[in-house]
Amino acid sequence: MKPLPTHGRFDYSPITGRPRHDWPNGGRLALYIGFNVEHFAFGEGLGARLAPAAAGTDVLNHSWREYGNRVGAWRLLELCESLALPLAAIVNSAVCDHAPELIGAFVRRGDEIVAHGHSNAEAQGAMSEADERALLLACRERLHQATGQAAGGWLSPWISESAVTPDLLVETGYRYTLNWCHDDQPTQLATRAGRLWSIPYPQEVNDIPAVVARSMSGSDFADLIVDHFDEMLEQSASAPLVMGIALHPYLVGQPHRLRPLRSALRHLAAARGTWWTTPGRICDAVEPIASGAA
């Protein structure tokens, strides 16, 4: 039979039997929060919807999403500050001009800045190679100007990739991608310019598919986080694992979802055997292991 088309980025590898190691603090479960900070064009482009788009300018859905930048993000920052949790701020470069105070809050906390395209009203998968390269470079430069950090990681808006996105990421200076959700451990993707780390990013422990696609309540999503964590912590006894939690302030920053999320994060923060970190620090930990230096 004819072989199926393949991406050619990685080979199949079962998680059983892989080498064991501890994370830098001696734990076996690395945890990070992917704090998605997004800006959307008014009256055009993509965006999650609370209700069907109205004719003309879509005030309802646009303002619902903007609540995250004006209110929800600040409530979530207060929660993470109270629990001393680091964040991976996954940022549209348009936010640097739209909500510079929010960018400044991440910088003051020392959070890692991850590039997330220019706007979540756009998808890069259909771009020409030249346009996509320009996007990757422009986002990295704008975030560096605003934060002083050279973003090492990338998450595509809507996980939209072209056939050459991993190649372009390496060629434009990125170390890792969050686009692929195929494993519970960091893996390396083959590209025409060398290896690119893939750090696990969740499509299950993620409020957009949970709340928007599956209509889960805030309490249901909080229970999902706790159940996922408890099971992964048990599994990590036999293998070092990575658990990401993807949050969008316009969703879980709503008071009725924030309250159960607070209880869930307190449960996670109180557990032992974990390493609260960021994707970039996970890269720092696995690179010497992959090279045989550790």
Provide the phi-psi class of 257: left if phi over 0, else alpha when psi is between -120 and 50, else beta: alpha
Residue 2 falls inside a structural domain: no
How many domains would you assign to the chain? 1
Q: Is residue 206 part of a domain?
A: yes
| The pLDDT of residue 10 | 95
DSSP of 154-176: E--GGG---TTHHHHHHHTT--E
Q: Quick check: is 88 in a domain?
A: yes
pLDDT digits (tens, 9 = 90+) for 94-136: 999 999 999 999 999 999 999 999 999 999 999 999 999 999 9
For the chain, give the mean pLDDT. Answer: 95
Give the β-pairing of 176-177 and 194-198: parallel
In a domain, 85, yes or no: yes
Q: Which residue has the higher pLDDT, 20 or 201?
A: 201
pLDDT at 55 over 80: no
For 1-11, the pLDDT digits (tens) are 999 999 999 99
Residue 10 forms part of a structural domain: no
Which residues fall within 8 angstroms of residue 152, CB to CB, at 6 or more apart?
A: 174, 175, 176, 280, 283
Q: Which pair of tokens denotes residue 266?
A: 């307190």
Domain around 285: 31-39+57-291
CATH number, domain at 205?
3.20.20.370
Q: Is the pTM of this model over 0.85?
A: yes
Distance CA 216, CA 204 (A): 12
* 50: confidence class by pLDDT, cuts 50, 70, 90: confident
Look at residue 105 in the predicted model and tell me its pLDDT: 98
The predicted-structure confidence for 164-197, as pLDDT tens digits, reads as follows 999 999 999 999 999 999 999 999 999 999 999 9
pLDDT tens for 249-261 read 999 999 999 999 9
76 to each of 57, 213, 276, how far by Cα in Å?
29, 22, 16
pLDDT of residue 49: 81
Predicted confidence at residue 294, as pLDDT, reads 41
- Residue 15 resides in a domain: no
Q: State how far Cα 65 lies from the chain centre.
A: 18
242 pLDDT above the threshold of 80: yes
Does residue 48 lie within any of the structural domains?
no
Could you tell me if residue 44 is left (phi over 0), alpha (psi between -120 and 50 degrees) or otherwise beta? beta
3-state helix, strand, coil in the chain (%, to 5): 45, 15, 45
Within a domain: 234: yes
Question: What's residue 292's pLDDT?
Answer: 66
pLDDT digits (tens, 9 = 90+) for 70-87: 999 999 999 999 999 999
Q: In this structure, what is the dihedral angle of CA atoms 45, 99, 209, 115, given to the nearest 10 degrees?
A: 90
Amino acid at 146: A
- What is d(CA 63, CA 151) in angstroms, rounded to the nearest whole number? 29
Mean pLDDT within 218-223: 98
